[in-house]
Chains A and B, each alone.
Chain A
Amino acid sequence: MHLAPSQCTLTEDAHPPFGVGRKLSDIDKALLWKFLHEDAECPTRVLLDKVAHRQRVIAVSVRHLNRLRATWQCNRPKGRPRHAACSTAAGGALVQITPHLSCVGVHLFAHWLDQQEAFEPVVARLQQAIEAHKRAYPEDDFALLHHRAQTLRRRFGALFFAPLLGIEHLTAFDTHEHPLQTLLGRGYHSTTLSQFLGQLERLDAATALLPALVPDQASQITYVDGHMIAYWSRTSMHKGKITMLGRLMAGSQAVIAHNEAGHALFVRYYPPDMHLSHIIVSYCQQVAMATGTPLFVIDRAVNAVAMAWAFDDQGLGLLSMLDDNEHQGLESFAATEVGTLDDGTKVYSGPWKVPRPDDPRQFVMVEPPEGKTLV
Chain B
Amino acid sequence: MYRERSEIQENSFKRMIDHGALNTNYGRKKIVGPDRHQQREQEKRDQALEAAQKRLEKKAEEVRAQQAKVVESEHKGHGKRLEQRQRALAVLEKESKDAQAQHTKLAAHASALGPPRERADRDFRKQTIMTIRTLLLENALTSFMAVLVGTLTMQVSLDCLLPLLFARSGARMETDSQMIYWISTTGVSAAYQRLLTAVVDGLCAMDWRDQGKPIRVRLKGLSP
Contact = CB atoms under 8 A, between A and B. Distances in A.
A-B complex is real = yes
A197 B169 contact: no
A170 to B, nearest CB: 8
A101 B119 contact: no
A299 B13 CA distance: 15
B137 interface: yes
B92 interface: no
A103 B171 contact: no
A269 B183 contact: no
B132 A95 contact: no
B127 A227 contact: no
A269 B37 contact: no
Interface in A213-269: 213, 221, 223-225, 227, 229, 231, 233, 235-239, 250-252, 254, 256, 258, 260-264, 267-269
Given A100-B171, A225-B13, A227-B13, A238 B36 contact: yes
Contacts, number: 221
B120 A122 contact: no
Contact of A269 (B1, B127, B140, B174): B127
Interface stretch (B17-25, B76-84, B96-104): B17-25
Contacts of A205: 129
A151 interface: no
Given A104-B181, A227-B22, A237-B30, A267 B161 contact: no
Nearest to A86: B173
A200 interface: yes
B152 interface: no
Interface in A258-304: 258, 260-264, 267-269, 271, 273, 297, 299
A252 B122 contact: yes
B174 A96 contact: yes
B159 interface: no
Give the interface SS of chain A, mostly helix, strand, loop or mixed. Answer: mixed
A100 B125 CA distance: 38
Interface string B150-188: 000000000001101111111111111100011110000
Contacts of A223: 4-5, 8-9
A94 B175 contact: yes
A201 B27 contact: yes
A160 interface: yes
Interface in B34-72: 35-37
A78 interface: no
A239 to B, nearest CB: 7
Nearest to B147: A112
Interface in B110-149: 117-122, 124-144, 147
Nearest to A237: B120
A162 B21 contact: yes
Contact of B169 (A104, A168, A204, A269): A104
Contact of B4 (A209, A235, A236, A260): A260
A267 B132 contact: yes
B139 A93 contact: no
Nearest to A197: B126
B206 interface: yes
B167 A262 contact: no
Contact of B122 (A201, A237, A299): A237
Interface string A150-186: 0000001001111110111110000000000010000
Contacts of B143: 116
A199 to B, nearest CB: 11
B97 to A, nearest CB: 39
Given A97-B171, A98-B171, A256-B13, 14 more contacts: A93-B177, A104-B181, A107-B172, A109-B144, A111-B210, A112-B147, A113-B140, A115-B208, A197-B27, A201-B125, A213-B132, A225-B10, A237-B120, A264-B139
Interface of A: 92-109, 111-116, 118, 122, 156, 159-164, 166-170, 182, 197-198, 200-201, 204-206, 209-210, 212-213, 221, 223-225, 227, 229, 231, 233, 235-239, 250-252, 254, 256, 258, 260-264, 267-269, 271, 273, 297, 299, 319-321, 366, 374
Task: Give me the 8 closest cross-chain CB pairs, A-B, nearest first.
Answer: A105-B166, A105-B165, A264-B135, A269-B124, A206-B128, A104-B170, A225-B9, A168-B21
